[in-house]
Amino acid sequence: MSIEVGSKVQGKVTGITNFGAFVELPDGKTGLVHISEVADNYVKDINEHLKVGDEVEVKVMNVEADGKIGLSIRKAKPQVERPERPERPDRPERSQRPRRDNNRSNDRNDRHQPKENFEQKMARFLKDSDERLSTLKRATESKRGGRGARRG
């Protein structure tokens, strides 16, 4: 019997680790059930759910090229119907939503100001950037103790 992805098979737990359980399949191959695939709820300690020697039904999730087999106990069980989620309320159309203020300064938000061309924008950016750098440099030098405390 070959192991095919999606098939359900019976297996025997042969080992338990902190990250999952090893299950021996009917053809002698061993696969791993990751701790997240043991039960539908959160599993803190796998030993509360499985013991070495337990017979379990598993679903084959993947078969790697190097022979590793990924298994799932929770997906082998029939799926319990979930209660339907309530319908989400409709969102208003984009044009009907209130506009957000983008936290821009007043001079940039002024609609009566003529459009800036690229050179003007670049000049303003460089000026702002230089001011910020000089402020940072002053703050950093004052923390170091001024110009005399520089290392050589």
- Pair 68, 119 in one domain: no
- If you compute the radius of gyration of the chain from its CA atoms, what whole number of angstroms results? 32
- Is 2 part of a structural domain of the chain? no
pLDDT at 98: 65
Last residue of a domain, one of 56, 72, 88: 72
Tell me which residues of the chain have a pLDDT lower than 50. none
- Is 88 part of a structural domain of the chain? no
- Is 127 part of a structural domain of the chain? yes
CATH label of the domain that carries residue 31: 2.40.50.140
- Is 98 part of a structural domain of the chain? no
- Is 96 part of a structural domain of the chain? no
DSSP 38: S
Contact 61, 5 (CB under 8 A): yes
pLDDT at 82: 53
Only one residue has tokens 């997906």, namely: 75
- Is 105 part of a structural domain of the chain? no
Last residue of a domain, one of 72, 91, 107: 72
- DSSP-derived pairing of the beta strands 30-34 and 20-24: antiparallel
Task: Please give the tally of structural domains in the chain.
Answer: 2
- Is 132 part of a structural domain of the chain? yes
pLDDT at 88: 73
pLDDT at 35: 93
**Which domain covers residue 37, as residue numbers?**
8-72
- Is 128 part of a structural domain of the chain? yes
pLDDT at 33: 94
pLDDT at 99: 64
